[in-house]
Amino acid sequence: MDIIQASERHLEEVLSLCKYCSENMTKNLIDQWDEVYPNKKDFLEDIRDKSLYLVVDNNLEEVIACIVLNDYQDPEYKEIRWGYEGENVAVIHRLMVHPHHEGKGIAKRLVRYVEELAKNRRYEAIRLDVFVKNPRAVGFYNQQGYEVIDKVIFRKGEFFCCEKLI
């Protein structure tokens, strides 16, 4: 399995991955993603900004996971009293692993990969938000050293805002 930067030729595979993940969350009573978010426009912007990274299964020749790392902070983040008060912050968005490949350490590998990218780019902290009603994701980020700082309200409900100094 390789981690690569996404290009426009990967867009349909990423959308398909997102659909599988969204359906799996819904099946597990996690009403987080839908046709509004994340959408094709979001992923196309990620690709054009060179901020979308993919895990490609070399045997299957398919995209099985993805993550976004950029410096975009939602406006709601301005209301939070973060641990790191500087401006040099990266943000993780849209981490997903195909349901058939969960439990193999892929998400952990992706997070470590983008943490190294952030360090190399001289960021000093990484932030993210995670849906309160997605306990598996909340626990995962906690295990990776992300501290819950506060909560914000987005369209689908409450999200924990987390931060890790790097």
3-state secondary structure of 59: coil
CATH number at residue 103: 3.40.630.30
pTM of the model: 0.95
Tell me, what's the pLDDT at 61? 82
Residue span of the structural domain in which 156 resides = 2-165
Amino acid of residue 94? R
The token duo for 136 is: 């598996």
Tell me, what's the pLDDT at 7? 97
Query: Contact, 6 vs 54, CB < 8 A?
Result: yes
pLDDT tens column, 80-122 = 999 999 999 999 999 999 999 999 999 999 999 999 999 999 9
Tell me, what's the pLDDT at 99? 96
Tell me, what's the pLDDT at 33? 79
Least Cα distance to 117 among 92, 139, 141 occurs for: 92
Cβ neighbour number for residue 73 with a 10 Å cutoff: 16
Least Cα distance to 89 among 23, 26, 132, 149 occurs for: 149
Interior angle at CA 110, CA 49 and CA 104, nearest 5: 145
Tell me, what's the pLDDT at 48? 98
Domain count, the chain: 1
Task: Spell out, as residue ranges, where the chain has pLDDT lower than 70.
Answer: none
